[in-house]
């Protein structure tokens, strides 16, 4: 019997396969197609203080083995999340992690406090720090160690739940950002968010995405994700959740060997909402074939092979 | 909404660049509601093409679904190379439907490009219900048409080069029919096709004050309301500062059929 379970802080995950924020909605949309209780966890779509319409179209374009998107954080806002989604999560038997996005330190704090003030069954929070800080001239929280440290500290003060900082790969030195998150009291690091990209139509000579710059995801960025997880593993002692282009158990193992304790499946959900369930089955097969008794023994193990 | 591995029973080119595919998928076929709905097809088993391709349903017979698609890019190229006996992975049925008209409304159905699928299905449905109507299908040239121009049966083809049917786009033909039909009743328009065509149709239906429903095409990431990419702007006289879903509507789950006067093309 293979043990797929992992633990981050005091939260038990039946398996290390979660679904990534923005690629699984709020979790209820696909319940017709997928038994969501078999997932290690669901990270729900980024929630902001107020509802957001998002960016004008076009918002998405396919690229070789990947996707560019700029949705503009379209979401229902924290109040509707509390009244409509939290009751639904009570009945689920998997870990729900709420992803939070803010445009100022105060906004992140307000959202988290608002949710903490309700009785909820959330396992924790994942903080999207790839957001421009309006108080600092639009500088993204996630590109600045001091901002990351301050944000993590303030949120840590206000919750005992799992606190995960989701890092952007679009930085010079991701290790220092990860260290700032760890110093601020984060329980784990999610890495990576999308890679900045752009696509132009040569025929129309127009941008393929309304906002111009957008985020690249999918198998195209998997090597970037794996490299960043490898770097972060050597920089911090807290667990890492690997994200970027996962479509199979082999991809999961790649991330685990590099240093991830768990992973999130993202873009692949758009094509196959139930792919994570299949990946979990494949993981068991992988472990049986390779005499792995607990999935945890793979974490960071590439170093043992070197 | 289900995911089903369907067995292809036919796949052939019926006009230049226009293909028709039939496949057996009982679970999805049994849940289809009507014209306007679509399915989302996984075209590439590898991840080189990550997304499914949304395709309007052109008809359902028993457990068999028909789609009509236009060769457009790599995804549809892969589809066109599939042979009977092979299987494809389908997600569906998705989206809403044209609301059916009563017998007196004398509808006009207008389709062009890849938008012919739901219009043809609507045409067949109305025939079954013995609802008199006019069908207008537009294309660039004769070889892209697979129906016969037959004014006696109220089937009108248009071509940009005049090589078959009426010369020009679907719009002048529509306008000439409005004048005939409006003398009989108020009419209703069902339209599907490329955005420039739908814009032109919206202008003319507004001018003649004729109610129009449109099935929209959109770039879709998932087809089930998760990725939030397939948005169309709603007509909204009092937009709110903080809102979700008031300014933008998701074509995959709110649509693809809209009343023309509720959206901005």
Q: Where are the domains of chain A?
A: 6-54+73-199+216-305
- pLDDT at position A44 is 97
| Residues with pLDDT less than 70, chain A | 305-306
The predicted-structure confidence for A248-299, as pLDDT tens digits, reads as follows: 999 999 999 999 999 999 999 999 999 999 999 999 999 999 999 999 999 9
Q: Give the whole-angstrom CA distance, residue B62 versus residue A129.
A: 51
Across the interface, whether the CB atoms of B221 and A67 are under 8 A apart is answered yes
The closest of A148, A222, A218 to A186, measured between CA atoms, is A148
Find chain B residues with C-beta within 8 A of A268's C-beta.
Answer: 47, 50
- pLDDT at position B237 is 74
CA of B36 vs chain A CAs: smallest distance (Å): 21
Strand ranges (DSSP E) for chain B? 2-15, 18-24, 38-42, 53-61, 64-70, 87-94, 108-112, 134-139, 155-159, 166-167, 188-192, 211-215, 231-234, 248-250, 257-259, 263-264
- Domain A6-54+73-199+216-305 matching CATH 3.40.50.300: the answer reads no
- pLDDT at position A7 is 98
ipTM: 0.93
Across the interface, whether the CB atoms of B47 and A219 are under 8 A apart is answered yes
Question: Is B232 among the domain residues?
Answer: no
Across the interface, whether the CB atoms of B224 and A76 are under 8 A apart is answered no
Please list, in sequence order, all residues whose beta carbon lies within 8 angstroms of the beta carbon of residue A225, skipping any fewer than 6 positions away: A169, A191, A192, A242, A243, A244, A245, A255
Task: Establish if B224 touches chain A: CB-CB under 8 angstroms.
Answer: yes
Q: Which two tokens stand for residue A86?
A: 């939290």
Chain length of chain B: 265
A59 to chain B: closest CA residue? B229
Across the interface, whether the CB atoms of A77 and B246 are under 8 A apart is answered no
Query: What's the CATH code of the domain at B85?
Result: 2.40.30.10
Question: Is B103 among the domain residues?
Answer: no
B128 and B90 in one domain?
A: no
Across the interface, whether the CB atoms of B222 and A57 are under 8 A apart is answered no
Across the interface, whether the CB atoms of B1 and A33 are under 8 A apart is answered yes
Helices (H), B42-169: 74-80, 116-128
Q: What 3-state class would DSSP assign to B117?
A: helix
**How far apart, in Å, are the Cα atoms of A105 and each of A3, A76, B85, B265?**
40, 20, 58, 38
**pLDDT truncated to tens, each residue of chain B (265 aa)?**
999 999 999 999 999 999 999 999 999 999 999 999 999 999 998 999 999 999 999 999 999 999 999 998 899 999 999 999 999 999 999 999 999 766 667 899 999 977 899 999 999 999 998 888 999 999 999 999 999 999 999 999 999 999 999 999 999 999 888 877 655 566 789 999 999 999 999 999 998 888 999 999 999 999 999 999 999 999 987 767 778 999 999 999 999 999 999 999 9
B90 and B181 in one domain?
A: no
- pLDDT at position B6 is 97
**Environment class of residue B146 by beta-carbon count within 10 Å: exposed (0-12), middle (13-18) or buried (19+)?**
middle
DSSP state of B225: S
Q: What is the distance, to the nearest Å, from the Cα of residue B138 to the centroid of all Cα atoms in its chain?
A: 13
Q: Which two tokens stand for residue B196?
A: 């420039």
Find chain A residues with C-beta within 8 A of B231's C-beta.
Answer: 54, 56-57, 59, 74
Q: Give the whole-angstrom CA distance, residue A273 versus residue A144.
A: 34
- pLDDT at position B183 is 55
Find chain A residues with C-beta within 8 A of B263's C-beta.
Answer: none
**Environment class of residue A20 by beta-carbon count within 10 Å: exposed (0-12), middle (13-18) or buried (19+)?**
buried
Q: Which one of A49, A111, A131, A220 is the catalytic residue?
A: A131
Question: Is B167 among the domain residues?
Answer: yes
B71 and B118 in one domain?
A: no
Please, are residues A62 and B50 in contact by the beta-carbon 8 Å criterion? yes
Rg (CA), chain B: 18
Q: Give the whole-angstrom CA distance, residue A11 versus residue A13.
A: 6
Q: Closest to B244 (Cβ–Cβ): which among A30, A58, A76?
A: A76
B43 to chain A: closest CA residue? A271
Q: How many CB pairs below 8 Å do chains A and B form together?
A: 110
Phi, psi (rounded to 5 degrees) for A216: -90, 135
Rg (CA), chain A: 18
Across the interface, whether the CB atoms of B248 and A74 are under 8 A apart is answered yes
The predicted-structure confidence for B166-219, as pLDDT tens digits, reads as follows: 999 999 999 888 877 655 566 789 999 999 999 999 999 998 888 999 999 999
B126 and B202 in one domain?
A: yes
B70 and B132 in one domain?
A: no
Number of domains in chain B: 2
Q: Which domain holds residue B82?
A: 2-94
Task: Establish if B72 touches chain A: CB-CB under 8 angstroms.
Answer: no
B113 and B200 in one domain?
A: yes
Determine whether A131 is an active site residue.
Answer: yes
CA of A60 vs chain B CAs: smallest distance (Å): 6
| Chain A contact probe: residue of B50, B51, B246 with most A CBs at under 10 A | B50
- pLDDT at position B252 is 97
Query: What's the CATH code of the domain at B124?
Result: 3.40.50.80
Find chain A residues with C-beta within 8 A of B2's C-beta.
Answer: 32-33
Q: Give the whole-angstrom CA distance, residue B256 versus residue B33.
A: 13
Please, are residues B71 and B77 in contact by the beta-carbon 8 Å criterion? yes
Report the alpha-carbon angle B161-B163-B169, nearest 5.
45
Q: Which two tokens stand for residue A125?
A: 């929070």
B40 and B129 in one domain?
A: no
The sign of the torsion formed by the CA atoms of B127, B252, A38, A77 equals: negative
Task: Establish if B48 touches chain A: CB-CB under 8 angstroms.
Answer: yes
DSSP state of A56: P
- pLDDT at position B185 is 64
Q: What is the distance, to the nearest Å, from the Cα of residue B177 to the centroid of all Cα atoms in its chain?
A: 21
B115 and B87 in one domain?
A: no
- pLDDT at position A8 is 98
For the CA atoms of A294, A296, A301, A304, the dihedral, rounded to the nearest 10 degrees, stands at -60
Q: Which two tokens stand for residue A110?
A: 């307000």
Question: Is B254 among the domain residues?
Answer: no
Find chain B residues with C-beta within 8 A of A59's C-beta.
Answer: 228-229, 231
Find chain A residues with C-beta within 8 A of B233's C-beta.
Answer: 56-57
- pLDDT at position B182 is 59
Q: What is the mean pLDDT of chain B?
A: 92
The predicted-structure confidence for A159-172, as pLDDT tens digits, reads as follows: 999 999 999 999 99
Across the interface, whether the CB atoms of B47 and A64 are under 8 A apart is answered no
Phi, psi (rounded to 5 degrees) for B142: -55, -40
Last residue of a domain, one of B32, B63, B94: B94
B117 and B82 in one domain?
A: no
Neighbours of B27 (CB within 10 A): 13
- b/e string for A112-143 if b means 16 or more Cβ within 10 A? beebeeeebebbbbbbbbbbebeeeeeebbbb
Q: Closest to A60 (Cβ–Cβ): which among B52, B221, B242?
A: B221
Strand ranges (DSSP E) for chain A? 6-8, 11-13, 17-19, 41-43, 60-63, 66-69, 95-101, 124-128, 132-133, 139-140, 162-167, 188-191, 195-197, 200-201, 206-207, 214-217, 240-243, 262-265
B249 to chain A: closest CA residue? A53
Please list, in sequence order, all residues whose beta carbon lies within 8 angstroms of the beta carbon of residue A297, skipping any fewer than 6 positions away: none
- pLDDT at position B242 is 79
């Amino acid at each position: 019997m293979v043990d797929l379970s992992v633990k981050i802080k005091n939260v038990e995950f039946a398996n290390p396969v979660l679904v990534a924020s923005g690629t699984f909605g709020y979790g209820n949309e696909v319940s017709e197609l997928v038994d969501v209780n078999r997932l290690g966890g669901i990270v729900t779509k980024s929630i902001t203080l107020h509802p957001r319409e998002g960016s004008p179209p076009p918002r998405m374009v396919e690229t070789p083995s990947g996707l560019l998107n700029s949705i503009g954080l379209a979401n229902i806002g924290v109040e509707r999340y509390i009244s409509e989604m939290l009751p639904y999560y009570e009945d689920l038997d998997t870990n729900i992690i709420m992803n939070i996005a803010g445009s100022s330190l105060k906004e992140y704090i307000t959202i988290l406090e608002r949710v903490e003030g309700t009785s909820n069954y959330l396992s924790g929070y994942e903080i999207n720090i790839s957001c421009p800080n309006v108080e600092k001239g639009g500088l993204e929280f996630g590109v600045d160690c001091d901002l990351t440290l301050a944000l993590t500290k303030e949120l840590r003060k206000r919750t005992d739940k799992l606190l995960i900082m989701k890092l952007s790969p679009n930085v010079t030195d991701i290790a220092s950002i990860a260290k700032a998150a760890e110093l601020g009291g984060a329980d784990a690091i999610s890495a990576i968010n999308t890679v900045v990209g752009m696509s132009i139509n040569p025929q129309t000579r127009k941008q393929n995405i309304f906002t111009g710059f957008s985020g690249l995801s999918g198998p195209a960025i998997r090597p970037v994700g794996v490299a960043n997880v490898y770097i972060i593993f050597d920089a911090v002692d807290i667990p890492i959740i690997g994200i970027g282009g996962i479509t199979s158990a082999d991809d999961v193992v790649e991330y685990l060997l590099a240093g991830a304790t768990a992973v999130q499946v993202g873009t692949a959900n758009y094509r196959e909402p139930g792919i994570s369930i299949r990946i979990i089955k494949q993981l068991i097969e992988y472990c049986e074939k390779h005499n792995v008794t607990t999935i945890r023994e793979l974490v960071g193990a590439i170093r043992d092979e070197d | 909404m289900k995911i089903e591995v369907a067995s292809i029973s036919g796949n052939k080119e019926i006009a230049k660049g226009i293909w028709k595919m039939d496949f057996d998928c009982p679970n999805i076929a049994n849940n289809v509601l009507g014209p306007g709905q679509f399915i989302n097809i996984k075209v590439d088993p590898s991840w080189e093409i990550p997304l499914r391709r949304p395709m309007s349903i052109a008809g359902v017979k028993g457990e068999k679904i028909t789609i009509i698609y236009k060769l457009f890019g790599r995804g549809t190229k892969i589809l066109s190379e599939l042979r009977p006996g092979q299987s494809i992975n389908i997600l569906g049925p998705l989206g809403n439907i044209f609301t059916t008209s009563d017998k007196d409304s004398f509808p006009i159905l207008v389709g062009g490009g890849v938008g012919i699928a739901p219009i043809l299905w609507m045409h067949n449905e109305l025939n079954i219900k013995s609802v008199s109507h006019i069908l207008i299908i537009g294309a660039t040239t004769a070889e892209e048409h697979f129906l016969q121009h037959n004014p006696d049966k109220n089937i009108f083809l248009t071509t940009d080069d005049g090589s078959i049917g009426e010369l020009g786009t679907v719009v002048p033909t529509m306008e000439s029919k409005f004048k005939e039909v409006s003398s009989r009743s108020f009419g209703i328009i069902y339209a599907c096709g490329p955005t420039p065509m739908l814009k032109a149709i919206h202008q003319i239906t507004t001018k003649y004050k004729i109610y129009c429903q449109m099935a929209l095409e959109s770039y879709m990431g998932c087809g089930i309301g998760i990725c939030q990419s397939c948005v169309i702007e709603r007509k909204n006289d009092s937009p709110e500062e903080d809102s979700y879903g008031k300014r933008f509507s998701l074509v995959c789950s709110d649509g693809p059929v809209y009343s023309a006067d509720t959206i901005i093309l």
